[in-house]
Structure 1
């Protein structure tokens, strides 16, 4: 009931005055992110009709509000998100934020990878939710992303997949994607930050396809160079070259692209 009354008052105020509230408090909050170089996020903000309304919006009238949609061309880490908004006369309230975490590892347009995160808006929080604010009105949740490498195509071109996981207060990787949850009345005038760390080392995307050697990894040959899966299957003697994202095409050790025939014991 509290959420219904709260939403109706603020939603009406927003429609009439463009963002005021019955209490004079802000009806927006700031979302920002601290990410490694070459990383950016896209935020897709979802709204639903304020409880108690009968209005229904069609698919094209209730689109998600997006920030940093073209992140590769223009990126702003700090964005202001409305808690209430009006669409086609329908008063809407924030329901959640889908986060797309993107990273770039090469110069070509396709040399990038992405994973997801999420901010939930709930009526109440439980002990598992990360929704606390400090005295300055800031809340932070975190994650770690890791590049997973593999080869594709007839020339075994290196491509990478981005894998992002949530981390706890001590920085330990946990299950699930980066995530936080808040209640509506927590957010006005506050700042929510996503902090992403990049893992120190990359790992193969699929098991039993690379062999760890001094200085990096060697790609198993498989049945032949045309074998795209090329599982090792116990053969740690026959390897193949591969092509790096920067164009080097006679590499034998990843990531250094240097020759090293000595295997680890």
Structure 2
């Protein structure tokens, strides 16, 4: 009887769905993500919880020194007696392009969680495969410009949604799921990096066969330094590592 009772308890536990799901990411080298998980009252609940009692968990906040690609996300929790469910995960795709503390950039992605996905177009009503995984895609590109009296290179990361064939779209990368889909599953964000970098501001660089040359503008102190059709007068600039260069990204012609 004791054995049968134990088996019955095990069967009862097996009937309860997992309380978490896994979020993970396949990212380019030297990339990371930061995830902030937001919760709100479950549908039909009239209770409210003060923000101080409903602090959003953060994963990989110290991504430059300690990064873990897998995050176990709690689906439901209770605060002050109020049943809460996950509503969204705000994602920051991060990367450092230099060693200085400010040589970083990032862009946004998102995971939405709804009771149903009927308001979304059919292609965005995500389903999980036989292994319990779903992947949404994005593509990032580095944009570069110069700043300061030495015209030092600064880079900005621009990330957009893409399809599995890496066709870049206009919106931010996102995945959308229902609460019932998530227990025990894995949501994966897969980001690819465009091989070509581009200027972040138009008409400031000129494309040449082996890279880009920085227009001089009125003089070297001209911080905007638009080309305005002058594709003969160029300036030097500083790379992130301190080198003085004449062409980007190769430094010397």
The TM-score with structure 2 as length reference comes to: 0.91
1:167 aligns with 162
2:23–2:71 contact (8 Å) kept in structure 1: yes
Q: Structure 2 regions of 5+ residues with no counterpart?
A: 1-11
3-state SS, counterpart of residue 16 of structure 2: coil
Contact 1:118 / 1:179 at 8 angstroms: preserved in 2?
yes
Q: Per-residue deviation at 1:255? A: 0.3
Q: Which moved more, 1:187-196 or 1:54-63?
A: 54-63
TM-score by length of 1: 0.87
Give deviations 1:59-103, integer Å, cap 9, x for gaps: 222221111111112111001001001223322101111110001
Q: Secondary structure at the match of 1:185?
A: helix
Length, aligned pairs only: 239
Distance 2:169 2:88 in 1: 22
CA shift for structure 1 position 206:
0.7
Which of 147, 156, 168 pairs up with 2:151?
156
Distance in 2 of aligned mates of 1:130 and 1:246: 45
**Superimposed CA distance per residue, residues 27-83 of structure 1 (whole angstroms, 9 cap, x where no aligned partner):** 110000000111000111110012333332222222211111111121110010010
| Equivalent residue number for residue 65 of structure 2 | 73
What is the aligned partner in structure 1 of residue 108 from structure 2? 116
The answer to whether structure 1 residue 254 and structure 2 residue 245 are counterparts is: no
- What is the aligned partner in structure 2 of residue 5 from structure 1? none
Report the Cα distance in structure 2 between the residues aligned to 1:135 and 1:117, rounded to whole angstroms: 25
Q: Which runs of 5+ in 1 are unaligned?
A: 1-19, 260-265
- Name the structure 2 match of 1:102: 94
* Alpha carbons 2:166, 2:192 under 8 Å: kept: no
Q: Secondary structure at the match of 2:158?
A: strand
Query: Could you tell me which residue of structure 1 aligns to residue 16 of structure 2?
Result: 24
**Alignment RMSD (CA, Å):** 1.5
Does 2:206 match 1:211? yes
Corresponding residue number in structure 2 for 1:41: 33
Shift, 1:21, TM fit: 8.2
